[in-house]
Structure 1
Amino acid sequence: MARIIDKDEKRANIALSAIKLFCEKGIQQTSIDEIAKSAEVAKGTIYLYFKNKEEIVFTIWDILSAQHQETFQKNITVNMSAKEKILEYFNFNQLQEEFDKEQILKLFQHFISSMLIDETQLYTAYFESFFKKDYDFIFLYLNEGIDKGELIIDDVDNLTNIIILLLKGLLVKSKASNMTFNETQNILNKHLSYLLDNYTKDKL
Structure 2
Amino acid sequence: MARIIDKDEKRCDIALASIKLFCEKGIQQTSIDEIAKSAGVAKGTIYLYFKNKEEIVFTIWDIISQQHHEAFQQRITENMSTKEKILEYFNFSECQEEFDKEQILILFQHFVSSMLIDKTQLYTDYFESFFQKDYDFISNCLLEGTQKSEFSIDNIDMLTNTIIMFLKGLLVKSKASNMGFYETQINLNKHITYLLEQCTKEKL
TM-score, normalised relative to structure 2: 0.97
For 1:171 and 1:118, locate their aligned partners in 2 and report how far apart those are by CA, in whole Å: 17
Residue 179 of structure 1 and its aligned partner are, at CA, apart by 0.8
Letter in 2 for 1:76: I
RMSD: 1.2
1:110 aligns with 2:104: no
State the Cα distance separating 1:96 from its structure 2 match.
Answer: 5.7
How many residues of Structure 1 are paired with residues of Structure 2 in the alignment? 204
- Verify the 8 A CA contact 1:197 1:203 in the aligned structure 2: no
CA deviation map 1:154-192 (0-9, x unaligned): 111111001011101101111111110111000000000
CA distance in 2, matches of 1:186, 1:174: 11
Match of 2:80 in 1: 80
- 1:61-81 CA-to-partner distances (Å, cap 9, x unmatched) read 000001100010010001101
Gaps of 5+ in 2: none
Aligned equivalent of 2:161: 161
Instruction: Supply the distance in 2 between the matched residues of 1:65 and 1:198 (Cα, whole angstroms).
Output: 29
1:126 counterpart residue number? 126
Asked whether the equivalents of residues 95 and 104 of structure 2 are also in contact (C-alpha less than 8 Å), the reply is: no
Q: Could you tell me the TM-score, scaled by structure 1's length? A: 0.97
Task: Give the Cα–Cα distance (whole angstroms) in 2 for the partners of residues 193 and 160 of structure 1.
Answer: 13
Equivalent residue number for residue 67 of structure 1: 67
Q: Distance in 2 between matches of 1:67 and 1:202?
A: 37
Q: Which moved more, 1:22-31 or 1:139-148?
A: 139-148
Q: Distance in 2 between matches of 1:155 and 1:14?
A: 44
Task: Indicate the SS of the match to 2:125.
Answer: helix
Distance 2:5 2:96 in 1: 25
Identity of aligned residues (%): 77
- Check if 1:39 corresponds to 2:39: yes
Off by >2 Å, runs of 4+ in structure 1:
201-204
* Separation of aligned partners in 2, 1:197 and 1:97: 30
Unaligned runs of 5+ in 1: none
| 1:1-204 alignment runs, 5 A limit | 1-95=1-95, 97-200=97-200
What is the CA–CA distance in structure 1 between the aligned matches of 2:30 and 2:126, rounded to whole Å? Answer: 19
SS at match of 1:105: helix
Contact 1:15–1:57 (8 Å) recurs in 2: yes
The letter for the 1-side match of 2:189 is N
Residue pair 1:149, 1:201 contacting (<8 A) in 2 also: no
In the alignment, the residues of structure 1 paired with residue 35 and residue 54 of structure 2 have an alpha-carbon distance, to the nearest angstrom, of 12
